[in-house]
Amino acid sequence: MKIREIHVHKFRNHAQTDAIFGERVNALLGQNGEGKTNLLEAISYLCLTKSFFGSTDGIVMQIGEERFEVSGELEGDTGIRYHVAVAYEHADNEKEFFINRTRVEKFSDVVGQFPVVVLSPESGAITTGGPADRRRFLDFVISQASKVYLEDLLEYRRVLRQRNKVLFDSKASRTDASDLLEPWNEELVDRGVRIVHRRNLFLEELQPMVAESYGSIAGRVENPMMRYESSVGSEELASEEAIRQAFLKELKRKAGEEKRFGITLVGPHRDELLLEINNLGVRSHASQGQHKTFLIALKVAEFLYLQSKRNERPILLLDDIFTELDEQRAEKLLVLTGSVGQSFITTTSGSVFPPDFNWASENKRFVVHGGTVEYEGARVLTH
Ligand SMILES: Nc1ncnc2c1ncn2[C@@H]1O[C@H](COP(=O)(O)OP(=O)(O)OP(=O)(O)O)[C@@H](O)[C@H]1O
Ligand SMILES: [Mg+2]
């Protein structure tokens, strides 16, 4: 997948930004606070209907404005062109998404059609943060690979909110809510089982890719492992039936506790993805370098996974990450970037690119300044 051009209107500090991108590396250079990350966020809207940071539509709309629009021309790996547009009206708090000028009814139909892999300073939380950060990673990737998963996830969250409300209300009023909980339990378990099962399957597929790319970065023998640990208490995650039985049993066992806390304590929203290197927990034991290597290995694997599921090379968004990496890892990543598909790399310093980097027409360099984006021709970089 490639973005050929983009038009950003009243989005963050971009009043009107129009750019024609290169087919491979697109460097976005600029000082702090000029609008580099904002442009990546606009790309996220174009490809995924929303911000990868989880910012709301009202927040990303330019301050003082009433609507924003991001549109562009995308091209699939087979050469199919798409005109894509996303527009938000603040007055009715309505967001619309169009593909080839036809309005898309369900956003879940769009997510994954234009796959994206993001690596930003926030991504570090995947290995250093808490379980919620790792669940977010799982959901972000699998949602792009599977529309069914995303729909299960959205429905699960809705059911969870309702069920929590019943529990919360009954705690507050000190009444027994068992009858009221019953209808929600079924839906919670149905969707929850599918989510747990799918996440486990995903990790099994990802594991060899992570091991492979970890090895190629670390350059020595270390054994990175991922393990899914579900709150439903099932040892057997390969079978939906086994997960279902364990889920029901655990819900029963935790019923008293749930009443006491007024909150749902069992289900994929409480699960953990354990990351280990040589059988030691990454979060508790890994060195800084090992954290970074694991993260990049995960991102490379994510790329390969989405590519195989979607038959489409994802667009790579690298936000301000080269400053964090040592030379060796940065070089590996840059080589990789050149060999994948289209990428967008924000940085405050042009020196992350080697002096002999080929700024031919497929690799472009832009300067971002005060919400404007200007193409810097190849001539600028002939050192
Ligand atoms: N809704 C908005 N409307 C207008 N301006 C906004 C809005 N949201 C953020 N900004 C402005 O955008 C700027 C930040 O842009 P951005 O995060 O893209 O910077 P950056 O170039 O990535 O900088 P850094 O190198 O520090 O990461 C800030 O100056 C902020 O005031
Ligand atoms: Mg930034």
Rg (CA), the chain: 22
Ligand number with the minimum distance to the CA of 371: 1
Three-class SS state of 213? helix
Q: For 295-307, what is each residue's pLDDT tens digit?
A: 999 999 999 999 9
Which is nearest to 253 in space by CA: 263, 262, 265? 265
Rounded Cα distance between 211 and 226, Å, is 10
- How far is the C-alpha of 306 from the C-alpha of 146, rounded, in Å? 10
209-229 pLDDT, tens digit each: 999 989 988 877 899 999 999
The beta strand positions in 243-314, using DSSP E, are 272-277, 280-281
Tokens of 182: 């019953």
Nearest-CA residue for atom 26 of ligand 1: 32
Write the pLDDT tens digit of every residue in 297-342.
999 999 999 999 999 999 999 999 877 777 777 777 777 776 778 9
Q: Looking at ligand 1, which atom is closest to the CA of residue 38? A: 18
378 band by pLDDT with thresholds 50, 70 and 90: low
Q: Which residues of 96-117 are buried (b: 16+ CB within 10 A; e: fewer)?
A: ebbbeeeebeeebebbbbbbbb
3-state helix, strand, coil in the chain (%, to 5): 50, 25, 30
Q: How many CB atoms lie within 10 A of CB 54?
A: 9
370 lines ligand 1 (CB under 6 A): no
**According to the model, what pLDDT value does residue 361 have?**
80
The Cα-based distances of 150 to 132, 199, 311, 320, 378 in angstroms read 17, 12, 18, 29, 42
348 lines ligand 1 (CB under 6 A): yes
pLDDT score recorded for residue 337: 75
Q: Whose CA is nearest to atom 15 of ligand 1?
A: 35
Q: How far is the CA of 68 from the centre of ligand 1 (A)?
A: 16
CA of 59, closest atom in ligand 1: 1
Report which protein residue has its CA nearest ligand 1's atom 16: 35
* Closest by CA position to 74, among listed 6, 144, 148: 6
Q: Give the tokens for residue 163.
A: 């069920």
Provide the CATH topology of domain 1-115+313-383. Answer: Rossmann fold (3.40.50)
To test ligand 1's pocket by mutation, which of 12, 36, 65, 88 has the most ligand atoms within 8 angstroms of CB?
Answer: 12
Does residue 63 have its Cβ closer than 6 Å to ligand 1?
yes
The total of other beta-carbon atoms located within 10 Å of residue 235's CB is 7
Phi-psi region of 35 (alpha: psi -120 to 50; beta: other; left: phi over 0): left
Question: In 278-383, at which residue ranges do the beta strands (DSSP E only) sit?
Answer: 280-281, 315-319, 343-347, 364-369, 372-376
Of the ligands numbered here, which is closest to the C-alpha atom of 323? Answer: 1
132 pLDDT exceeds 50? yes
Q: How many angstroms does the Cα of residue 317 sit away from the middle of ligand 1?
A: 17
For ligand 1, say whether the CB of 30 is within 6 Å of any of its atoms.
yes
Backbone angles phi, psi at 254, to 5 degrees: -95, 5
Q: How confident is the model at residue 26 (pLDDT cuts 50, 70, 90)?
A: very high
Average pLDDT of the chain, as a whole number: 93
Sequence letter at residue 212: E
Q: Which residues surround ligand 2, an ion (CB under 5 A)?
A: 37
Model pLDDT, residue 82: 98
Evaluate: CB of 200 within 6 angstroms of ligand 1.
no
Residue 382 CB neighbour total at 10 angstroms: 8
Tokens 């991504």, residue located: 123
293 lines ligand 1 (CB under 6 A): no
Nearest residue CA, atom 18 of ligand 1?
35
**Smallest CA separation from ligand 1 atom 24, residue:** 32
Name the helix (H) or strand (E) containing 134. Answer: helix 131-145
CATH classification of 130-311, choosing from 1.10.760.10, 1.20.1050.90, 1.20.120.10, 3.40.50.300?
A: 1.20.1050.90
224 CB less than 6 Å from ligand 1?
no
Does pLDDT of 350 surpass 90?
no
Q: What ranges do the domains of the chain cover?
A: 1-115+313-383, 130-311
